[in-house]
C-alpha cells in the first residue's frame, strides 16, 4: 500500500490575534476539523471562500504554522511520515516545499542558478549533488539556458517556474502551491501548469494546490477538497464529480467554479441543457456545437455583432494620457501611449506581464513620479498633473489600489486604515466614523475592525485595500488586480460595487489578467504590448478578436473560446455570461 506524502487528520487552527497591550486572544478556528491526504502522483485542489483557512492549512504542511506563525493547533499533520508538530521547519524542507502567490517574495539571490542551488546548499548537500539537482530542476522547468540571468528579468511566469524549480531542487516530493498563478498573464498560467503536469507525471511527487482560477486548474486536479465559510469540510472527491456534480452547492458556498461550468448552469436554467455539465471551454464548445447542429441553440440574451475596434471618442475626459513615453533603466516601459478616458467609464487595461500596465496605472495616480528626463508626454487626471500635484489634492481626486495589498497598509487596525486618509483631509470625526462604518459593512469587514491588517486573510487584505480608496470617494478609482485572492462571492460583490460606482459617474480603471472578469464588467478594453497600445475598443470587439489579443500576448476569455466556432454571428460575439440566454426568474444562477 502506498503511504500518503501528506496526511492531515482533524486539523483545527486558531490564530493568535495580538492586542495593543502585548497580549493576544485566539481567533475563530479556520480550518476546522479537516482531513486531507495527498498520495504520490496526485494533485489535490483545495477550494473555499476567502478566510476559510486554505492558506493556513497550506502553511501548516511544513510547520510555518505554528512554529513561525503562532497558533493553537489540534489534530495532526504528517509529511513524509514525520509529525510536523514535533519536527523543526528547516528539517521538513527536504520533504515539503511551498510555492507562494508572489514568486518575488521567495527570491534571495542574484542569478537563476544561485537561486535554485540555495535550498540544497542549506540542506548541506555535497557541491556536485547541488549542481546536479539544480541542472535537473532548471531543465525540467525550461530555464537551464537562462541560468545566468538575474531572476528580476524573467517574466512573471518565468519567476514562478523558477520558484517551482527551487522546490524541486530541494528534493521535496510534496509541493504545496498557494495561488501560484494569481499574478500571471494567461501565457504565464499555461507555462506554470505545463511544468506542474511534467512534475507530477513521473508519479513520485504530490501537489496540494490552492487556486481560485479554475479554468485551467480544474482539468489539472485529480481530487477536490472544499471548505465552507467556517473552515469545515464541505466536499471531497474526484475533481469532475465535485465541480460539476455539486456545482449548485459550491456556487451557494461562494466557491469559484470554472467558467464553462457556470455557463452550463445558466444554460440549464434557461432550459438549454448540456449534460453533463462542462468543465473546460472545449467541453462547453462541444456541447454548444451539438445544440447548434440540432437547431436547439436559442438566440443569446444580448445580440452583439463585432464591428470596428476603434472606441468612441471619450466625452467629459477625466483621464488624459498624451503621447506618454517612460524609460526605466535604459528600457522603454511605455512607448507613445495616448488615451482619453471619459467620466463614468469602466476601463480595463490588459496585457502580458511586463507590458506596462501597472506603470501606466501608477503614473496616472501619482504613485510613480519618475525623473523628468525619463518621461516624455503628459498625463492629466481630474484636471491635475499627477507628477506635480499636491498629495492632498491628488488623493482627494484619485484613488489607487496596489496589486499587493500589504504595500499600502500604514496603521495597526482595520478601521484606522480606512480612517487615516479621511483624517489627513481634516474631515469631522463623526463623518469619518460614519464613512468607515459604511465601508466596513459593505466589504464584510465589520467583525474584523480591531484586527491588525497584516493578520487578515489574503482576500480580506484585498477588500481592505479597496476600501481605503473607496472611503475617500474619489472621482477616479484605479485598481491593480482587484479580485486577487477573492472568493467568488466577494469578487462578485466587489465588481458589482465597481459597476455601481461607474454607473454613478466615478471613472474606474482596472488592471487585470482575468479576461473573463474584463468581459463581464468593463465598458472598454485597452490592450498593451511592449508598452504600446495594440487594441482599444468595446469588450465584445477586443475580446472576440483572437488576433488582437495575440498581439498583446493574451488569450480570449474562456467563454469566447467556446463560442467562436459557432455558425451564428451573434453567438460568435458572446464573451459574457450575461450574454447567454437565461430565464429571468433564475437570473442569479451562475453569477
Q: Which of 463, 470, 428 has the alpha carbon at shortest distance from 449?
A: 463
φ, ψ at 276 (rounded to 5°): -75, 170
Identify the CATH number of the domain in which residue 398 sits: 3.40.50.300
pLDDT at residue number 1? 54
**Is 432 domain-assigned?**
yes
pLDDT at residue number 483? 78
Per-residue pLDDT tens for 511-543? Answer: 988 888 889 899 999 999 999 999 999 998 898
Residue found by looking up cell 492558506 in the block: 55
Question: pLDDT-derived band of residue 186, with 50, 70 and 90 as boundaries?
Answer: confident
Strands 476-480 and 507-511: parallel
Of the candidate ranges 53-62, 110-119, 296-305, 390-399, the one whose mean pLDDT is the lowest? 296-305
Is the separation of the CB atoms in 54 and 48 below 8 Å? yes
pLDDT above 50: residue 159: yes
pLDDT above 60: residue 311: no
Q: How many residues does the chain have?
A: 591
pLDDT at residue number 181? 84
pLDDT at residue number 485? 66
pLDDT at residue number 588? 46
**Distance from C-alpha of 483 to C-alpha of 513, rounded to nearest angstrom:** 10
**Distance from C-alpha of 42 to C-alpha of 5, rounded to nearest angstrom:** 10
**Is 153 domain-assigned?**
no
**Is 37 domain-assigned?**
no
Residue found by looking up cell 491588525 in the block: 452
Question: pLDDT-derived band of residue 20, with 50, 70 and 90 as boundaries?
Answer: low
Question: pLDDT-derived band of residue 589, with 50, 70 and 90 as boundaries?
Answer: very low
Task: Count CB neighbours of 224 within 10 A.
Answer: 26
Per-residue pLDDT tens for 254-290? Answer: 888 999 999 999 998 888 888 899 999 999 999 999 9
**Is 290 domain-assigned?**
no
**Distance from C-alpha of 153 to C-alpha of 7, rounded to nearest angstrom:** 38
pLDDT at residue number 559? 93
In what side-by-side order are the strands of the sheet with 476-480?
398-401, 476-480, 507-511, 346-351, 524-529, 532-537
Q: How far is CA 66 from CA 32, 60, 63, 176, 390, in A?
A: 15, 7, 6, 17, 45
pLDDT at residue number 17? 74
**Is 236 domain-assigned?**
no
pLDDT above 70: residue 361: yes
Q: Which domain holds residue 487?
A: 317-543
Question: pLDDT-derived band of residue 408, with 50, 70 and 90 as boundaries?
Answer: confident
Secondary structure (H, E, C), 119-153: HHHHCCCCHHHHHHHHHHHHHHCCCHHHCCCCHHH
**Is 501 domain-assigned?**
yes
**Is 507 domain-assigned?**
yes
Per-residue pLDDT tens for 364-382? Answer: 999 888 888 899 999 999 9
Task: Count CB neighbours of 140 within 10 A.
Answer: 18
pLDDT at residue number 146? 92
pLDDT at residue number 89? 87
pLDDT above 50: residue 585: no
Is the separation of the CB atoms in 534 and 339 below 8 Å? no
pLDDT at residue number 150? 92
Per-residue pLDDT tens for 458-515? Answer: 778 888 988 998 898 899 999 988 877 676 677 777 788 888 888 888 999 999 888 8
**Is 370 domain-assigned?**
yes
The proportion of the chain whose per-residue pLDDT surpasses 70, expressed as a percent, equals 94
- Rounded to an integer, the average pLDDT of 77-105 is 88
DSSP string for residues in 200-222: HHTSS-EEEEE-S-HHHHHHH-S
pLDDT at residue number 522? 92
Is the separation of the CB atoms in 269 and 585 below 8 Å? no
- Rounded to an integer, the average pLDDT of 406-424 is 91
pLDDT at residue number 307? 42
pLDDT above 50: residue 587: no
Give whichever of 20-29, 275-284, 290-299 has the largest mean pLDDT.
275-284
- Mean residue pLDDT of the chain comes to 88
Indicate the number of domains in the chain: 1
**Distance from C-alpha of 309 to C-alpha of 312, rounded to nearest angstrom:** 10
- Rounded to an integer, the average pLDDT of 239-259 is 93
pLDDT at residue number 308? 39
**Distance from C-alpha of 534 to C-alpha of 528, rounded to nearest angstrom:** 6
Amino acid at each position: 500500500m502506498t503511504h500518503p506524502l501528506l496526511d492531515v487528520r482533524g486539523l483545527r487552527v486558531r490564530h493568535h490575534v495580538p492586542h495593543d497591550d502585548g497580549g493576544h486572544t485566539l481567533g475563530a478556528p479556520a480550518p476546522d476539523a479537516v482531513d486531507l491526504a495527498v498520495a504520490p502522483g496526485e494533485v489535490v485542489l483545495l477550494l473555499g471562500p476567502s478566510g476559510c483557512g486554505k492558506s493556513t492549512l497550506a502553511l501548516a504542511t511544513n510547520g510555518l504554522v505554528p512554529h513561525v506563525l503562532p497558533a493553537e493547533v489540534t489534530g495532526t499533520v504528517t509529511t513524509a511520515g514525520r509529525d510536523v508538530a514535533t519536527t523543526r521547519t528547516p528539517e521538513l524542507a527536504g520533504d515539503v516545499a511551498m510555492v507562494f502567490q508572489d514568486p518575488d517574495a521567495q527570491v534571495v539571490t542574484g542569478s537563476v542558478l544561485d537561486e535554485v542551488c540555495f535550498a540544497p546548499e542549506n540542506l548541506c548537500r555535497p557541491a556536485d549533488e547541488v549542481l546536479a539537482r539544480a541542472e535537473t530542476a532548471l531543465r525540467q522547468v525550461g530555464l537551464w539556458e537562462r541560468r545566468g540571468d538575474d531572476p528580476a528579468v524573467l517574466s512573471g511566469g518565468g519567476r514562478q517556474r523558477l520558484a517551482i524549480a527551487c522546490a524541486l531542487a530541494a528534493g521535496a516530493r510534496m509541493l504545496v502551491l498557494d495561488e501560484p498563478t494569481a499574478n500571471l498573464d494567461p501565457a504565464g498560467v499555461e507555462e506554470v501548469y505545463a511544468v506542474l503536469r511534467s512534475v507530477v507525471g513521473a508519479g513520485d511527487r504530490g501537489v496540494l494546490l490552492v487556486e481560485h482560477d479554475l479554468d485551467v486548474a480544474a482539468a489539472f486536479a485529480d481530487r477536490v477538497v472544499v471548505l465552507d465559510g467556517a473552515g469545515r469540510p464541505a466536499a471531497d472527491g474526484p475533481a469532475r464529480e465535485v465541480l460539476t456534480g455539486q456545482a449548485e452547492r459550491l456556487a451557494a458556498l461562494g466557491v469559484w467554479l470554472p467558467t464553462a461550468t457556470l455557463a452550463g448552469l445558466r444554460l440549464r436554467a434557461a432550459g438549454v441543457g448540456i449534460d453533463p455539465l462542462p468543465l473546460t471551454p472545449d467541453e462547453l464548445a462541444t456541447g454548444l456545437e451539438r445544440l447548434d447542429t440540432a437547431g436547439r441553440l436559442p438566440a443569446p440574451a444580448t445580440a452583439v455583432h463585432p464591428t470596428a475596434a476603434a472606441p468612441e471618442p471619450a466625452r467629459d475626459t477625466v483621464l488624459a494620457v498624451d503621447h506618454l513615453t517612460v524609460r526605466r533603466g535604459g528600457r522603454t516601459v511605455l512607448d507613445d501611449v495616448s488615451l482619453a478616458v471619459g467620466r463614468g467609464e469602466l476601463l480595463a487595461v490588459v496585457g502580458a506581464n511586463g507590458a506596462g500596465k501597472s506603470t501606466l496605472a501608477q503614473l496616472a495616480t501619482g504613485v510613480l513620479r519618475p525623473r523628468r528626463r525619463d518621461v516624455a508626454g503628459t498625463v492629466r487626471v481630474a484636471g491635475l498633473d499627477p507628477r506635480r500635484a499636491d498629495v492632498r489634492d491628488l488623493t482627494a481626486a484619485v484613488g489607487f489600489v496596489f496589486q499587493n495589498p500589504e504595500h499600502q497598509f500604514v496603521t495597526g487596525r482595520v478601521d484606522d486604515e480606512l480612517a487615516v486618509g479621511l483624517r489627513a483631509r481634516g474631515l469631522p470625526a463623526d463623518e469619518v466614523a460614519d464613512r468607515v462604518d459604511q465601508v466596513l459593512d459593505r466589504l464584510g469587514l465589520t467583525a474584523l475592525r480591531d484586527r491588525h491588517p497584516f493578520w487578515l486573510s489574503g482576500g480580506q487584505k484585498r477588500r481592505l485595500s479597496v476600501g481605503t480608496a473607496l472611503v475617500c470617494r474619489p472621482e477616479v478609482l484605479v485598481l491593480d488586480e482587484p479580485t486577487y485572492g477573492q472568493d467568488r462571492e466577494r469578487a462578485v460583490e466587489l465588481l458589482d460595487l465597481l459597476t455601481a460606482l461607474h454607473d454613478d459617474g466615478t471613472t474606474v480603471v482596472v488592471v487585470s489578467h482575468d479576461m473573463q472578469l474584463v468581459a463581464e464588467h468593463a465598458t472598454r478594453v485597452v490592450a498593451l504590448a511592449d508598452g504600446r497600445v495594440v487594441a482599444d475598443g468595446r469588450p465584445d470587439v477586443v475580446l472576440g478578436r483572437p488576433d488582437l489579443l495575440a498581439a498583446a500576448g493574451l488569450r480570449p476569455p474562456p467563454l469566447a473560446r467556446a463560442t467562436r466556432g459557432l455558425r451564428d454571428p451573434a453567438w460568435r460575439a458572446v464573451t459574457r455570461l450575461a450574454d447567454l440566454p437565461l430565464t429571468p426568474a433564475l437570473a442569479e444562477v451562475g453569477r
